[in-house]
Amino acid sequence: MINTLIFDFDGTIIDTNLIIAKGLNLFSKAYRGSRLSQHELEQLTGKPLHDQMAALNPERADEMTARFRKWYAQRHDALTKAFQGMDELFDDLRQCSFKMAIVTNNSREGVQMGLKHLGMHHLFQTVITCDDVKEKKPSPEGVHLALKRMNVRPEEALFIGDSSGDLIASRRAGVANVLVGWTSVRRETLMAHQPDFVIEHPLELLQVVSLAEEQIA
């Protein structure tokens, strides 16, 4: 029986696509002299911030990371929001008594900023960030840690995410995955990872839970 839902955060729950794309292009222009191509932007999606900065200019990655965090924090609330339908989804999930967690490559500071902005900080039993693990997604370490903290078996959970790292990490952890259709990454890129389920709207997740339980049974 599926009793636990593990979510990615950026690009899955909170729409940070605009602010991240603006920031990465701004820093790419400043530190390497050109904007990112769509392919390059997709390659960076879902990666930890320091890794993103290192891809732009490895010699100045530490400096860039600190500057990006400051730039991001100053603009976060104005440029981010929950994806449409997400508030209704979590209202329904709470009524169904699901355990819920977040596993993200974002920092704890960044996630707490987002959860506070959305008013969702009380919804999750555990939040695993890049500060809590040695190996970030696509490593399954964060997913394993979330399962351990909640005393849940892999077959009792679903992982919901928007990136290749999400799909790979969940599969390596033995957890069925759900690709969200509102991802900023091209669909064909992600479908190559053969997600177990795809949803086009947050409220479709409850239907997927029922389908997943039928497959397990």
CATH code of the domain in which 209 resides:
3.40.50.1000
Note whether 43 and 127 are same-domain residues.
no
pLDDT at site 212: 86
Note whether 85 and 115 are same-domain residues.
yes
Enumerate residue ranges in the chain where pLDDT < 50: none
pLDDT at site 216: 64
Apex 80 CA angle, 131 and 8, nearest 5: 40
Note whether 107 and 129 are same-domain residues.
yes
Domain count, the chain: 2
Note whether 174 and 189 are same-domain residues.
yes
Q: Pick from 52, 79, 106: which residue ends a domain? A: 79
* Complete edge-to-edge strand list for the sheet that includes strand 126-128: 126-128, 99-103, 4-7, 157-161, 176-180, 197-199
Q: Pick from 30, 57, 79: which residue ends a domain? A: 79
pLDDT at site 213: 80
Domain span holding position 64 = 17-79
Note whether 124 and 44 are same-domain residues.
no
Note whether 154 and 205 are same-domain residues.
yes
Q: Which residues are catalytic?
A: 8
CA distance 43 to 145: 26
Q: Which of 80, 88, 84 is nearest to 106 (CA)?
A: 80
**Count of positions (residues) in the chain:** 217
Tokens standing for 159? Answer: 């992982």
